[in-house]
């Protein structure tokens, strides 16, 4: 057992989610890794199923398993290990799909060579590979190579994109990039991770409207712990391109991400220890916070039980059919 498993308050909360969660789940954004130096450590799909089963009260879960995008993958030997590990995980877990890492200098040929298993159905890019020290300010071109788009378009693959820069989707360069590439490569499917990284809720308000007619732009809701941005994306773009996700093993950290001024902050274990309150103070893990935020967004949007099944399973199953 890891030291960040769910606490009794999470488990109490899980009981209250019983009537909300559909009978089967498809996690559109979770991570596994062969490398123990990832923060989350060496994690497998089996770890995920064991760690999260209490929260989902034993429901069956399919996953889009994204390789943990650590800097170590820039080493060719580590990249090779990650591919063998992912392939073995796919063999052990039929019904799941995986995303392999792409690097900024990759050609289409480099990307295609990594697709060594039929369940490798997506590509992951990440800002930490951008050639600059302040990678949180990187433009998407600095960490998502054109070759990835070409391969995704040829093969109908998914690309999971975690936007950076303080404005996320409110940054005009990020937004214009998404619009331009989605139109240029219509057979590729772009998932804007973390509801277009709207940890600062305001960043999707009025901006995601520009993406509503781009049918190949999708959203995973992983890691978002407040309902406003989830509701706004659902309201503006519709349920059909939105998917629940957890960002496991991040989902098993205590605390939550909150909007703070025009930025965001992750309340973590250290903060929780220093909080002082006159009333009983409790905390959940990110997984529980995310489910409650999504539940609230669904209620506020008057979603039907069919819509909720689509969010938690059918949309992802259709995307990766
Ligand atoms: Zn992630």
pLDDT at position 2, please? 53
| Residue 64, in any domain of the structure | yes
Alpha carbon of 262 to ligand 1 centroid (Å):
22
| Residue 2, in any domain of the structure | no
259, 226 Cβ separation under 8 angstroms: yes
| Residue 256, in any domain of the structure | yes
Alpha carbon of 279 to ligand 1 centroid (Å):
34
pLDDT at position 1, please? 40
| Residue 3, in any domain of the structure | no
Give the global pTM: 0.97
pLDDT at position 37, please? 82
- Residue spans of the chain under pLDDT 50: 1
137 burial level (CB within 10 Å; 0-12, 13-18, 19+): middle
| Residue 41, in any domain of the structure | yes
Alpha carbon of 247 to ligand 1 centroid (Å):
5
| Total count of domains within the chain | 1
Closest of 217, 249, 318, 196 to residue 66, by C-alpha: 249
Alpha carbon of 276 to ligand 1 centroid (Å):
31
**CATH code: domain of residue 274:** 3.20.20.140
SS3 for 17-78 is CCCCCCCCEEEEEEEEECCCCCCCCCECHHHHHHHHCCCCCCCCEEEEEEECCCHHHHCHHH
| Residue 212, in any domain of the structure | yes
Q: What is the chain's percent helix, strand, coil content, to nearest 5? A: 45, 15, 40
pLDDT at position 243, please? 98
Domain containing 179 equals 8-319
């Amino acid at each position: 057992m890891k030291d960040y498993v769910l606490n009794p308050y999470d488990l109490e909360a899980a009981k209250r989610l019983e009537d909300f969660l559909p009978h089967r789940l498809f996690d559109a954004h979770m991570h596994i890794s062969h490398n123990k130096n990832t923060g989350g450590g060496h994690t497998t799909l089996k770890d995920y199923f064991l760690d999260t089963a209490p929260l989902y009260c034993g429901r069956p879960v399919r996953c889009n398993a994204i390789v943990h995008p650590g800097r170590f993958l820039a080493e060719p030997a580590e990249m090779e290990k990650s591919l063998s590990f992912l392939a073995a995980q796919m063999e052990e877990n039929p019904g799941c799909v995986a995303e392999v890492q792409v690097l900024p200098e990759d050609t289409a040929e480099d990307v295609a060579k990594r697709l060594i298993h039929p369940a490798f159905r997506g590509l992951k890019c990440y800002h930490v590979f951008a050639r600059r020290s302040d990678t949180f300010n990187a433009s998407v071109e600095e960490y998502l190579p054109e070759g990835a788009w070409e391969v995704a378009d040829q093969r109908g693959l998914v690309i999971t994109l975690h936007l950076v820069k303080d404005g996320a989707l409110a940054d005009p360069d990020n937004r214009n990039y998404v619009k331009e590439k989605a139109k240029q490569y219509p057979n590729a499917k772009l998932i804007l991770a973390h509801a277009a990284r709207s940890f600062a809720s305001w960043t999707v308000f009025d901006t995601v409207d520009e993406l509503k007619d781009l049918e190949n732009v999708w959203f995973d809701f992983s890691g978002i712990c407040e309902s406003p941005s989830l509701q706004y994306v659902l309201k503006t773009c519709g349920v059909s391109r939105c998917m629940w996700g957890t960002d496991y093993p991040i989902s098993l950290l205590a605390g939550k991400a909150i909007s703070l001024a025009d930025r965001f902050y992750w309340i973590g274990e250290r903060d929780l220890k220093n909080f002082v309150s006159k009333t009983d103070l409790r905390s959940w893990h990110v997984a529980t916070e995310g489910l409650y935020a999504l539940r609230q967004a669904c209620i506020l949007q008057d979603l039907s039980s069919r819509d909720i099944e689509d969010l938690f399973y059918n949309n992802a199953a259709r995307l990766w059919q």
